[in-house]
Amino acid sequence: MLVTSAFCFVTLVLPLHATTIDYRKAWTTKGDKIPNFSFAGYHESESALPSLSSSAKKTLSPGSGDQHATIQAALDEVFQDGGGVVALKAGTFALSSGLLIQNGTILRGAGIGKTILTVKDLSEDVVTLGKTSGKEKKGKSIKITDDYVPAGTGTVHVADARGLSLGMEVYVTPYTPPTRPSEMGIENLSMRVKPSCSGRVLGDKTCSSAAVRIPSWTTDSWVRNLDLTGFNNHIGLLESASRITITTVTMNRDGPTDNDKGYALDIAIDGTQVLVHNVKTLGKKDARSYSVATQSLTPGPNACIGYEAEQAVESIEPHQRWAHGFLNEGSKVAAVLFRNRGGAGSGHGWTINNGQSASVASDKFLSVKNTRCILELQRVLCRHAGSSWRAGTKLLLRLRWSKIQEGRRRD
């Protein structure tokens, strides 16, 4: 269950000496806790990703002309046979339309720069990871009677508990999700868009889709070892996608940005328990984008570890209104911004509740505009509008991912 309050913006900032975190402890007088970010990623980061050396059920060689039908037929055959790996040998595979990877199926190349998927435009996503069957069923809304619901609480009080049962998923209302596709991956290959869509004005329908789309309800799946060139939006995770790992992906922006309608998103997160790990944005100096951005009401915990971007205008930031629980650690980007965006975009306002950043190399480490208060462990620091801090100051958060893993708690 995720419940957020619209009346308090909470950013927890830890001192330099902090190395271990007790996630059971309340850090504010109202009982707010720090999210346990160690549960982000494939199988809550308790299991390693499947081996890259596992045997393939189906192996394809590159051919002439459009290879979409050949690859899709192989993916469907392996899916219908219970899942497994479809391997693409080294070479170039031209695609006229997008590929769908279904439950238990993996698309694997021979390596970055060796296996290359090419498309001529982005009127649709190149790869979609998962397809649900059935529809979700929503129950009757139940009123929460608490005056304040602290972040990280394990208890809420409701007006009527009838209709609720042990183990039921609750999205504020009783909820039965559709089937969840899982154990899907795309790995070890490159993708190219020719002519490039990088930097094209937002709203250009021939360039608006992504290299990889992870739909709602996809779970326990991954994107790894990819090299993407010519895309405007690279990876998108939709609402209710969960426990996804995106690792060792390089996104190359090979064109200048037309920002007439804003900047594109390299990785857009609208799901939960997403781990973005060792990912890079490279390219031209006049290329601009949001590196990692959460969407409206995105529930955490979501974590971004070791992200690098070389352009002068690149930021990691919760983007639309009222995301919850976002950790950024070890990034090297122009800016890391947890802020009130006011009327920007569609009127995004406050972007994050319970956001944290650690060990950041950035020109602008944190900018909090019109913030009422910044919570520093056991005391509250109230700052004037426009407060900002740079990396290296005494307020720099040091919350090591390894320490989170060592100290994780399920209590």
More confident residue, 108 or 401: 108
Q: What is the pLDDT of residue 179?
A: 83
Average pLDDT, the chain: 79
More confident residue, 69 or 13: 69
Rounded Cα–Cα distance for residues 380 and 377 (Å): 8
64-68, 289-293, 301-305: lowest mean pLDDT where?
289-293
Rounded Cα–Cα distance for residues 48 and 116 (Å): 26
CB 246 within 8 A of CB 275: yes
154-168, 321-335, 351-365, 387-401: lowest mean pLDDT where?
387-401
Q: Which of 73-87, 255-269, 326-340, 380-394 has the highest mean pLDDT?
A: 73-87
pLDDT(125) > 90: yes
28-32, 241-245, 268-272: lowest mean pLDDT where?
28-32
CB 250 within 8 A of CB 291: no
What pTM was estimated for this model as a whole? 0.83
More confident residue, 98 or 172: 98
CB 8 within 8 A of CB 154: no
pLDDT tens-digit map of 206-238: 998 999 999 999 999 999 999 999 999 999 999
* Residue 386: partners with Cβ closer than 8 Å, 6 or more residues away: 369, 370
More confident residue, 30 or 119: 119
Q: What is the pLDDT of residue 161?
A: 83
pLDDT > 90 in the chain, percent: 42
Rounded Cα–Cα distance for residues 350 and 332 (Å): 24
Q: What HEC string does the chain produce?
A: CCCCCCCCCCEECCCCCCCCCCCCCCCCCCCCCCCCHHHCCHHHHCCCCCCCCCCCCEEECCCCCECHHHHHHHHHHHHHCCCEEEEECCEEEECCCCEEECCCEEEECCCCCCEEEEECCCCCCCEEECCCCCCCEECCCCCECCCCCCCCCCCCCECCCCCCCCCCEEECEEEECCCCCECCEEEEEEEEECCCCCCCCCCCCCCCCEEEEECCCCEEEEEEEEEEECCCEEEEECCCCEEEEEEEEEEEECCCCCCCCCCEEEEEECCEEEEEECCEEEECCCCCEEEEEECCCCCCCEEEECCEECCCCEEECCCCCCEEEEEEECCECCEECCCECCCCCCCCCECEEEEEEECCECCECEEECCCCCEEECCEEECCCCCEEECCCCCCCCCCCHHHHHHCCCCC
Q: What HEC string does 39-102 produce?
A: HCCHHHHCCCCCCCCCCCCEEECCCCCECHHHHHHHHHHHHHCCCEEEEECCEEEECCCCEEEC
**For the purposes of burial, counting CB atoms within 10 Å of the CB of 205, is it exposed (0-12), middle (13-18) or buried (19 or more)?**
exposed
Confidence of residue 373 (pLDDT cuts 50, 70, 90): very low
Q: What is the pLDDT of residue 383?
A: 29
Mean pLDDT across 118-147:
84
Q: What is the pLDDT of residue 386?
A: 32
For 270-296, b where at least 16 C-beta lie within 10 A, e where not — what string? Answer: bbbbbbbbebbbbbbeebbbbbbbbbb
Q: What is the pLDDT of residue 44?
A: 94
pLDDT > 70 in the chain, percent: 78
Which residue ranges form the domains of the chain, and what is each CATH number? 37-135+177-406 (2.160.20.10)
Q: What is the pLDDT of residue 394?
A: 30
Q: What is the pLDDT of residue 29?
A: 84
- The amino acid at residue 222 is W
Rounded Cα–Cα distance for residues 147 and 360 (Å): 36
In this structure, the chain runs to a length of 411
Confidence of residue 389 (pLDDT cuts 50, 70, 90): very low
More confident residue, 341 or 252: 252
What is the sign, positive or negative, of the torsion defined by CA atoms of 239, 267, 51, 299?
negative
Confidence of residue 318 (pLDDT cuts 50, 70, 90): confident
Q: In which residue are the tokens 């974590």 written?
A: 303
Radius of gyration of the chain (CA): 21
pLDDT(6) > 70: no
Rounded Cα–Cα distance for residues 177 and 69 (Å): 31
Confidence of residue 405 (pLDDT cuts 50, 70, 90): very low
